[in-house]
Amino acid sequence: MIAESIKREEASLSERGISDDSFWEVEFADNSVISEKEANWSELSEQTLVKFNDGNKMVMLSKYPIKKIKIVLKELETSLEIEEEDEKIYQAIKAQTIFYPGGDKVDRQVGRIVGRVKNGEVIEEKFLSPLTSEIVGFKK
């Protein structure tokens, strides 16, 4: 089972700076399941440059065959399913750092992104925004 081969994360979500109500869960092609509560996305993915609209962007693209990914962010929840064998998935946390006088700073999560890639091009992307309580995106 693919999920059993993934290195487990010992630290909790909160110890990693992630809210307990913000996580991904992946179902692999072999039906095994793993979530962000158990592992880091970096263990499932590799940095890849992909085509995005009229330009390019760098994403952490899945390196294992994924059937479905679910993203939860507070009261928002969405999922993407692989429609064809050669598609891959990426996901990311969108964060903002606020710097204060005296060197203090605060990091805050302002959203999550999940997308599908086929032939090196983003064909679907969703953005979950807790600030506006909505899920927006596009699908080609």
Dump pLDDT digits (tens) for 62-109: 999 999 999 999 999 999 999 999 999 999 999 889 999 999 988 888
Q: Does the global pTM surpass 0.85?
A: yes
CA angle 96, 10, 7 (to 5 degrees): 95
Tokens at 90, concatenated: 């990426």
Quickly state the pLDDT bin for 17 (edges 50, 70, 90). confident
* Residues 124 and 140 sit within 8 Å (Cβ to Cβ): yes
* Residues 50 and 43 sit within 8 Å (Cβ to Cβ): no
For residue 65, what pLDDT is reported? 96
Tokens at 104, concatenated: 């203090």
